[in-house]
């Protein structure tokens, strides 16, 4: 099977007020693609560091801490997957790699509760698209400051009917 390559981007409503540093820190706990991309802030704007992402998605895996051996000594430290540098994942022992591969994708409620707490007003939308052997998909995730969240997935197979899946979460916590 070939790889899917695409782009991840973020849109922020004009009315959006958020605590940008903790918001970005929270975003970076999630795995938004299969690479080592990170959300960054530059001149007050948020963007994704990878120009071309492998398997971009708004269905991220649960953030989890993995035990990483320090190459300088026998000590271990805990890092989120998204904090690993190139090659560190391959140095993990099998049980740590299995823990990562077995992690489920995040529910809308989990994503909403993680991100909305850093927002005072407005909304933030993460969207992505990718192509793979002529097939393409588009996804979007919109988190409102009140915690209400929508996630959509549109898949356009080359020789089949397109599919559209939409899920919504209504927050009661905020």
Q: List, in sequence order, every residue forming a beta bridge with 142; answer none if it has no partner.
A: 125, 150
**pLDDT of the residue at 1:** 46
pLDDT at 160: 87
Report in angstroms the alpha-carbon separations of 25 from 37, 45, 63, 79, 142: 13, 14, 12, 13, 18
pLDDT interval class at 63 (50, 70, 90): low
Q: Decide which of 163 and 93 is more confident.
A: 163
Average pLDDT over residues 43-66: 83
Rounded Cα distance between 40 and 20, Å, is 10
53 has pLDDT over 60: yes
The whole-number pLDDT of residue 104 equals 75
Model pLDDT, residue 120: 97
Give the H or E element holding residue 160. Answer: none
Query: What confidence score (pLDDT) does residue 51 get?
Result: 74
């Amino acid at each position: 099977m070939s790889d899917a390559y695409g782009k991840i981007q973020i849109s922020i409503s004009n009315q959006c007020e958020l605590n940008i540093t903790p918001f970005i820190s929270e975003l970076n706990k999630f795995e938004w693609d299969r690479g080592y991309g990170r959300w960054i802030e530059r001149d007050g704007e948020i963007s994704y560091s990878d120009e071309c992402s492998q398997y971009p998605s708004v269905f991220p895996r649960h953030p989890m801490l993995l035990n990483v051996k320090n190459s300088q000594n026998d000590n271990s430290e805990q890092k989120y997957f998204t904090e690993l540098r190139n090659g560190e994942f391959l140095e993990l022992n099998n049980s740590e790699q299995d823990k990562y591969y077995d992690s489920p994708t995040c529910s809308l409620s989990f994503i909403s509760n993680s991100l909305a707490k850093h927002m005072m007003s407005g909304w933030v939308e993460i969207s992505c698209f990718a192509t793979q052997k002529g097939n393409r998909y588009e996804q979007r995730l919109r988190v409102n400051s009140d915690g209400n969240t929508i996630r959509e997935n549109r898949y356009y197979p080359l020789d089949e009917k397109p599919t559209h899946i939409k899920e919504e979460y209504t927050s009661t916590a905020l």
